[in-house]
Every structure is written in structure tokens, then in C-alpha cells.
Amino acid sequence: MRKKRKLGRGVALVGAGMSKFDMFDDRDSKDLFAEAFKNMLDSVDKGVDPGAIDALYVGNFSNDFFVEQSHWSAILSDAIGLVPKPATRTEGACASSALAFREGVFAIASGFYDMVLVGGVEDMSKRSTAEVAEGLALAAIPYERKAGFTFPGVFGSIATAYFAKYGAGREDLMNITIKSHANAPLNPKAQYQASIRDIMDAKVERARAKGEALPAWADEKEFLHDSRANPSIAWPMHLFDCCPISDGAGCLLLVGEELARSFTDTPLHVVGLGQGSGRGLHAADDLTYFEATRAAAREAYDMADLEADDIQCAEVHDCFSIAELIHIEDLGFFKPGEGYKAVAEGLTRLDGPRPINTSGGLKCKGHPVGATGAAQLIEIWEQLRHDAGDRQVPNENLRIGAAHNLGGTGGTCTFTILERR
């Protein structure tokens, strides 16, 4: 019998903000985190005194490698004026800032603190693409690295296994790419601000301006099938199946539940928390699911007394197109082997019955790995409070959302459920 988890004290989210995600030549982690912190302060409806923040928990995967600097918790605490408050860094690969969020929740639930700032940051673009691939491989299982697997290769293997088992194909990945690129331009913080159709039209105009033969793509899928426009990276992963190199930061403000109405009339309550760990591909008995995700989901659903059908919108860790398919099945939104059919039917669109990755997801919003978990929770914050602007889920009764954050090749997973009451 599984043990049902519960918090000793209710915890609420009362503020959230993030920086723009992109590749920045002239901005570093301190700049990005300061921007996210300011945006978080501005989001607190009734205002907040930064001096009342008891502690900082910040997720960062590998600025040690990307910018050759460690000890980011203290550096960022100083950058936003929190010294001498306690500052702690968490690291769980791409799940680093989701782990920071969990630590912040536990610190408040224990009664030790009343108000905690959590966040994440990563500054990846100062390295070349090859160097970034090398740095990200540090999050893989050692056996995978020694075998020469980079992340596209890992997820290419996963996609190949999924195709063989369930009969899906490349066009099913394209459906996710088209959806993500449709959502991202509606998000002013997203790295990519163009739909696939916009990209197609821009390429045609460039060819026309140069006097070259005009591409004759009939639709988005014909464009994505064109290896000149969408080259293969690691079969069946192509360029538009992969997330970009990104810089960015996010911040969230947590308080004891009984204090929440002092800051906003629409707090979000942390009702479900789950975390799991997993083995590498070499030890997996099946490449079409992540055991860490399934474990995290069970724990969070049990804690919240909810089921998958109760989740009205979700951000999932779509570092590659195939990852979104795997996750929406592992989280119980769709049965195994049915996820790609649900996407094809439009069920996960912004205006569908189960909107997934309304932010544009990692593939289009961007994936500064240490900030991704925070950014996913910020999207749920905006959606549940009906502050998402043009990408707002059209559901007046929207009140329960979730964020799924995967680290490495499935070694760490968190699943967090938030509720507006």
C-alpha cells in the first residue's frame, strides 16, 4: 500500500515572473534573474516587501560548465539584494528549479519559514553548439555518455521504439511541432515568435528577394518533410523536433497558506507534489515510458486526491517532440499508445479539452535547463489566474493545472499540481 503524502502546513504561490527566454550576447545570469525577480514582485497583487523573504532556493544545472562559475545561490542572492538571507542551489539536471520549488514548499510546510523565493537560471549561449551538447551530456547516465549518446540520440532511440511498438510515425511528431509553434508567438517571453507557416512564408520571401527558385511547399508537413528546411539530427529527430539553446530565468514566491490573502485574492495552492527517479536506457525494460514520471505522478495524484482527468491544463517536459507523447501517456492523460492519436485529433491544442504546453513548451518557449521547471510553473500560474493573454485557455472554470519536469534521460522527475480555489 502506497503511503499518502501530505504537508504539515498549507503552502500557496502568490507571485511569479520570468525573464525573456532567448540567446543573449549582452546579458548574464545575474541580469536574467534580476529581471525575473522584478517581474515576480510586480505580479504580487497587493505588493510585497522583499525584506520579508526568509530564504532563496535557486535551481541551476551547469553554469559551472557553461560560464565557468559556480556558487550561484550566493551570487544571485547578492544580485537581488537578499544578502544575508540563506541561499541554496539545487541541481537535478533539467529539473533543477522544480527541485528548488519543492525545497521551498517543504521549508514553509515545516513551519521554519513563512516566505520563500524559489527560482532557476541558466546561461547556455556563451558556448558553441558542440560545447553545449557536451555540457548537457553531463546530465546523462555515465554508460550513455561513454556509448556516445547525446540527447538527440537518446530521444531518437526512444522515438524509434515508440514508432515500432505503437505504429506512430514522423508526421505524429510534426503535429506536436506545429502546435508548439502555434502557441509560442502568443507568449511574449517565448524564444521563438513564429508559427511553422510564418517560417515557411519567410523562407519563400527570402528566396524571392534573392531571385532563387521559390519553394513549393503545400502545407506545414510538406515543409517539415523537406530535409533542406528541416534536416535530420538523430533519426527520426529532425531540427524542428529539438529544443533550442536558451538563456533565461524564473522566480516564484511561496508563503504559508494562511498568509496568502495578504498578498493576493487569487493565490494558487500547492495540492500535489511528486518526485521519482529512474535508470538509464541501458537498464530500461521498455523505452516507451519513464518510470520516474509514473512514480512522480502517482505520488502527486495521491497527495491531491485527484486523478489525471482532473488536470485541466499542463506543461510537460517536451525537450523533443517524442518526449511530449511519452509524458502525456505516463501522466495518465491518455492511454499508452494513444497519445499521438489524441494530438492528431486536436485534443491537446490550446482550445482543446486537454491543453498541453500552452506556453509553446521547451521546444518553442526555450529551454534554459536550470530555469525550465520554474517557467513551467509560471505558465500554470498565469493560466489558472486567467492572466495568459492571447494564449489563455478558453475555460472560465479553469482551476487545476500541473507542471511536469524531467531531468536528464529520465533520472529525475517532478510533478506538481496547483489549484485556484
Catalytic site residue from 94, 313, 319, 413: 94
Provide the pLDDT confidence category of residue 193 given band limits of 50, 70 and 90: very high
The pLDDT mean for the chain works out to 96
> Which residue do the cell numbers 539553446 mark?
245
Distance CA 326, CA 337 (A): 9
Question: Any idea how long the chain is?
Answer: 421
Strands (E), 30-172: 55-59, 87-90, 115-123
- Listed in sequence order, the residues at least 6 apart from 44 whose beta carbon sits closer than 8 Å to its beta carbon are 14, 15, 253, 263, 264
Residue whose C-alpha is closest to residue 273's, from 2, 1, 6: 6
Residue 1 pLDDT more than 80?
no
404 is annotated as an active-site residue: no
pLDDT of residue 34: 98
Provide the pLDDT confidence category of residue 56 given band limits of 50, 70 and 90: very high
pLDDT of residue 107: 98
- Which of left, alpha, beta for 211 (phi over 0: left; psi -120 to 50: alpha)? left
Residue 160 pLDDT more than 70?
yes
pLDDT of residue 147: 79
282 is annotated as an active-site residue: no
pLDDT of residue 25: 95
> Which residue do the cell numbers 494564449 mark?
391
Identify whether the C-beta of residue 395 lies closer than 8 Å to the C-beta of residue 359: no
Cell digits for 116? 520563500
Mean pLDDT along residues 351-374: 98
pLDDT tens digits, one per residue of 3-43: 788 999 999 999 999 999 999 999 999 999 999 999 999 99
pLDDT of residue 336: 98
Q: Which helix (H) or strand (E) holds 129?
A: helix 129-136
Which domains does the chain show, CATH number per domain? Answer: 11-128+244-420 (3.40.47.10)
Distance CA 57, CA 70 (A): 15
Distance CA 244, CA 362 (A): 8
Q: How many helices (H) and strands (E) does the chain have?
A: 15, 11
DSSP output for 290-351: -HHHHHHHHHHHHHHT--GGG--EEE---SBHHHHHHHHHHTTSS-TTTHHHHHHTTTTSTT
Overall pTM surpassing 0.95 (yes/no): yes
Torsion angle of alpha carbons 19, 375, 238, 229, nearest 10°?
-30
Residue whose C-alpha is closest to residue 378's, from 401, 352, 398: 401
Provide the pLDDT confidence category of residue 123 given band limits of 50, 70 and 90: very high
> Which residue do the cell numbers 537578499 mark?
82
pLDDT tens digits, one per residue of 136-152: 989 988 878 777 788 99
Catalytic site residue from 364, 367, 404, 413: 367
Residue 283 pLDDT more than 90?
no
pLDDT tens digits, one per residue of 383-398: 999 999 999 999 999 9
- Listed in sequence order, the residues at least 6 apart from 137 whose beta carbon sits closer than 8 Å to its beta carbon are 144, 145, 149, 150, 151
pLDDT of residue 144: 80
Identify whether the C-beta of residue 269 lies closer than 8 Å to the C-beta of residue 402: no
Measured at the CA of 294, the angle between CA 357 and CA 62, to 5 degrees, comes to 65
Distance CA 347, CA 341 (A): 9
**Would you call 285 exposed, middle or buried from its count of C-beta atoms within 10 A (0-12, 13-18, 19+)?**
exposed
Provide the pLDDT confidence category of residue 267 given band limits of 50, 70 and 90: very high
Distance CA 308, CA 332 (A): 5
Give the best-scoring range by mean pLDDT among 148-162, 171-185, 272-286: 171-185
Mean pLDDT along residues 171-196: 98
